[in-house]
Amino acid sequence: MYQYDAFDHEILQKRIEEFKSQVKRRLSGELSEEEFKPLRLMNGVYLQLHAYMLRIAIPYGTFSSDQMRKFAHIARKYDRGYGHFTTRQNIQYNWPRLTDIPTILEELAEVELHAIQTSGNCIRNTTADQLAGVAKHEIADPRGYAEIIRQWSTFHPEFTYLPRKFKIAITGDTHDRAAIRFHDIGLEIVKNKSQEIGFKVLVGGGLGRTPIIGTVIKEFLPEKHLLSYLEAILRAYNLDGRRDNKYKARIKILVQETGIETYRTTVEQEWKEILKEGRTDLPLNAQIRILEHFTLPKYSHKGVTSYNFSDFYAADSDFARWINHNMHDHKIENYAAVTISLKPLKGIPGDISAEQMDGIASLADLCSLGEIRATHEQNLVFPHVFKDDLPALWRDLEKIGLATANHGLISDIIACPGLDYCALANARSIPIAQEIAQRFDDPERMEEIGELKIKVSGCINACAHHHVGHIGILGVDKKGVEAYQLMLGGSADEKASIGKITGASFDAEEIIDAVEATVDLYLTLRQDNERFIDTYNRVGMAPFKEVLYG
Amino acid sequence: MTIAIPKRPLRRRVKKEKKNYNLALTANHLFSGKVVYFTGSGWANLLHDAALSLDGDSLISQAQNYIKNESFVGLELIKIDKLYNQLIPLTTKEKIRLSGPSIIYN
Ligand code: SF4
């Protein structure tokens, strides 16, 4: 994992001092709310329905057991004993007092964490594949490049006031778990014919009001030119992106309006200029120094093994179920990565209590070399587990209520905070996710249904990525009453697609029945072991409409 | 000192309604973010204590005197129903603001 150097510590301290003074001046009335709001947003502080919300960055979703302990401490001391993992690999607290936030940030800085780049019209925290570094078929670990982007983009003077927020995602695997096609810039690590590493660069993807699949702007960008090319894309956007209309200010609109060819030409021209200046790309030794933080750890197993994995797998069907769904292949023989589902029955997607955080931190030390990942699907991952440790890990996770065997299944639902917390929401998301999970609460039924991704957003901002759910649900406001649109056929992976609306919206009870009717129809229509999305792609919308609306 | 008026055109939204609803003025406390309601002579945590009026403008102008250093933010006029002497916000959003998240957290 990346360790801060003296410079990182220094800029973080300066930032905290600056924000401390801004809060003080706001509380004394020296700063007006209008003046203060953009400043607090730059430090991850939002005002929600009931309280402030503080969003903390987890760069590329990788963090340590010590950092998790700090999250637990903050939840207990300054919040209401829990935190919420978001769909951008961040964590947020729903109840901090503004007066406490500078102290919280000081505490976070002790473990190299902060809230920078979690809000505002800047380059946001870069997200990455949660299996980065350990995925069996990965070309290269994307996190080193994400760290390079972090260092380049944090407080970049040219990109602090972009037309709108700007999100970058990166993966090193051809199977896209990072939804790179739905980011302002998506990066996929690839190799050229000479086996040199580089990036396929996509631009102009996004969700929200105008969902668009990103377009390839460069098939192969040599590794050494990562920053200069990103800078060229950002410069072209910063110059030409619309600032007159918030809803048309994202890069996706610029790319659509100018056309990818014109936009590419502008970027190439900018890039030439930047290359001439010759100061943006990292010198090779600096790049190597950063990438070295992300080499595979030395696996000399000193875990908690008292089982033989295969014997236990054969003997315990609940364990076998958990393994079948939550375990992932690993680069190293006899090791695995496991998803720790934050979607227990009746739970709130992404929520975790301080006690569970402490439990996870201890288990990460025992079984995952102290390393944890946050996923954009609101789960956690232990990336380095010796297979014979899995039975003991599973039993310990059960004790803290986190051994749900549902990764990728119908109850592994992404839901945004919705109207229970969010000031922008039209409708509640969490109770809908809970009701659906409850309706399908039968392990055998869930297994029969197989992979099915449901995503529930409380408004068109699409924080839960409903457009790319196999089944997507969008909360809408019908004269002050909550209603829900249903969408089918979205996908966030390498076969990206945007879901289509089935028809008229449903009320909060009807939407659960509508989801069940959709799933039941899929089970009757599916051939062989087709997943929901495959069946939908084969048969189209018509039969689903028929069953939903008659 | 002027109040930061919410971006959405409140009065227009309210006037569109055929029925004339009682209005209350709500905000969040600057220090804690807690939900508060304007009482006519200060701010309270309970909607029960809120001042009601059919005239939103007058509520806003009365409240000006009780917002020293803009220590109440996110001001919003909300429509209120009265049922058996209980004050009930009209929208789900305001009901949730009043009673907290509808789910059991932590
Ligand atoms: S999708 Fe809308 S309701 Fe949900 S968290 Fe985002 S802004 Fe809030």
pLDDT in tens, A336-370: 999 999 999 999 999 999 999 999 999 999 999 99
Three-state SS at A64: strand
The answer, yes or no, to whether residue B66 has pLDDT greater than 70, is yes
The answer, yes or no, to whether residue B4 has pLDDT greater than 70, is no
Considering only CA atoms, which of A523, A517, A532 is closest in space to residue A454?
A532
User: Is residue B28, in this structure, part of any structural domain at all?
Assistant: yes
The full DSSP string for A262-312 is HHHHHHHHHHHHHHHHT-SSPPHHHHHHHHGGGSPPP----S---S-HHHH
The pLDDT mean for chain B works out to 84
Bridge pairing between strands B35-38 and A327-328: unpaired
Which atom of ligand 1 is nearest the CA belonging to A426?
Answer: 3
Please tell me the predicted confidence (pLDDT) of residue B68: 81
Interchain CB distance below 8 Å, A51 and B33: yes
Q: How far is the CA of A527 from the centre of ligand 1 (A)?
A: 36
Backbone conformation region of residue A462, classed left if phi is above 0, alpha if psi is from -120 to 50, else beta: left
User: Is residue B4, in this structure, part of any structural domain at all?
Assistant: no
Calculate mean pLDDT across residues B58-69.
90
Q: Which of A457, A460, A484 to mutate to test the pocket of ligand 1 (most atoms within 8 A of CB)?
A: A457
Bridge pairing between strands A454-457 and A414-415: parallel
At B85, list the tokens. 């002497």
CB A412 within 8 A of CB A470: no
B41 reaches A (C-beta below 8 A)? no
A85 reaches B (C-beta below 8 A)? no
Q: How many residues does chain B have?
A: 106
Calculate mean pLDDT across residues B10-38.
78
User: Is residue B75, in this structure, part of any structural domain at all?
Assistant: yes
Q: How far is the CA of A4 from the centre of ligand 1 (A)?
A: 33
Q: Which residue has the tokens 């000006």?
A: B64
Interchain CB distance below 8 Å, A50 and B103: no
Please tell me the predicted confidence (pLDDT) of residue B7: 39
Chain B nearest C-alpha distance from A493 (Å): 31
Please tell me the predicted confidence (pLDDT) of residue B88: 95
Interchain CB distance below 8 Å, A420 and B28: no
Please tell me the predicted confidence (pLDDT) of residue A308: 87
Interchain CB distance below 8 Å, A80 and B33: no
Which atom of ligand 1 is nearest the CA belonging to A458?
Answer: 3
Q: Which of A50, A99, A428 sits opposite B35 (nearest CB)?
A: A50
A281 reaches B (C-beta below 8 A)? no
The Cα–Cα gap between A211 and A304 comes to 46
Please tell me the predicted confidence (pLDDT) of residue B19: 67
Please tell me the predicted confidence (pLDDT) of residue B70: 83
Interchain CB distance below 8 Å, B71 and A29: yes
For residue A52, the chain B residues in CB contact (below 8 A) are 32-33
Q: Which of A33, A97, A480 sits opposite B90 (nearest CB)?
A: A480
Burial (CB count within 10 angstroms: exposed 0-12, middle 13-18, buried 19+), residue A545: middle
Confidence of residue B11 (pLDDT cuts 50, 70, 90): very low
Please tell me the predicted confidence (pLDDT) of residue A306: 74
- Quick: pLDDT tens for A72-90: 999 999 999 999 999 999 9
Chain A nearest C-alpha distance from B43 (Å): 15
- Quick: pLDDT tens for A402-460: 999 999 999 999 999 999 999 999 999 999 999 999 999 999 999 999 999 999 999 99
Exposure on the CB side of residue A529, measured as CA atoms within 13 A: 4
Q: Which of A29, A33, A419 sits opposite B92 (nearest CB)?
A: A419
Please tell me the predicted confidence (pLDDT) of residue B18: 55
The Cα–Cα gap between A41 and A165 comes to 12
B61 reaches A (C-beta below 8 A)? no
- Quick: pLDDT tens for A257-297: 999 999 999 999 999 999 999 888 998 999 999 999 999 99
The answer, yes or no, to whether residue B25 has pLDDT greater than 60, is yes
- Quick: pLDDT tens for A150-183: 999 999 999 988 999 999 999 999 999 999 999 9
User: Is residue B39, in this structure, part of any structural domain at all?
Assistant: yes
- The amino acid sitting at A32 is S
The Cα–Cα gap between A158 and A231 comes to 10
Number of domains in chain B: 1
What is the domain range of residue B93?
A: 22-98
Confidence of residue A93 (pLDDT cuts 50, 70, 90): very high
Interface contacts (A, B; CB < 8 Å): 84
User: Is residue B5, in this structure, part of any structural domain at all?
Assistant: no
A49 reaches B (C-beta below 8 A)? yes
CB A52 within 8 A of CB A46: yes
A432 reaches B (C-beta below 8 A)? no
- The amino acid sitting at A186 is G
Predicted complex ipTM = 0.89
A480 reaches B (C-beta below 8 A)? yes
Secondary structure E strands in A22-116? 45-47, 52-56, 62-64, 82-85, 91-93
pLDDT > 70 fraction of chain A, expressed in percent and rounded: 100
Terminal Cα distance for chain B, rounded: 40
User: Is residue B87, in this structure, part of any structural domain at all?
Assistant: yes
The Cα–Cα gap between A210 and A193 comes to 36
CB A162 within 8 A of CB A229: no
Chain A nearest C-alpha distance from B104 (Å): 9
The answer, yes or no, to whether residue B14 has pLDDT greater than 80, is no
User: Is residue B54, in this structure, part of any structural domain at all?
Assistant: yes
Residue A82: partners with Cβ closer than 8 Å, 6 or more residues away: A75, A351, A352, A353, A354, B105, B106
DSSP A492: -
- Quick: pLDDT tens for A228-242: 999 999 999 999 999
Chain B nearest C-alpha distance from A81 (Å): 7
Calculate mean pLDDT across residues B38-50.
96
Considering only CA atoms, which of A409, A441, A404 is closest in space to residue A322?
A404
Please tell me the predicted confidence (pLDDT) of residue B1: 34
Comparing alpha-carbon positions, the chain B residue that sits nearest to A47 is B33
Which pTM value belongs to this model? 0.94
Three-state SS at A365: helix
Bridge pairing between strands A197-203 and A215-222: antiparallel
Confidence of residue B67 (pLDDT cuts 50, 70, 90): confident
Ligand 1 contact, A418 CB (< 6 A): yes
Interchain CB distance below 8 Å, B31 and A428: no
Ligand 1 contact, A208 CB (< 6 A): no
CB A235 within 8 A of CB A158: yes
The answer, yes or no, to whether residue B15 has pLDDT greater than 50, is no
Edge-to-edge strands, sheet with A414-415? A414-415, A454-457, A471-478, A481-488, A500-501
User: Is residue B63, in this structure, part of any structural domain at all?
Assistant: yes
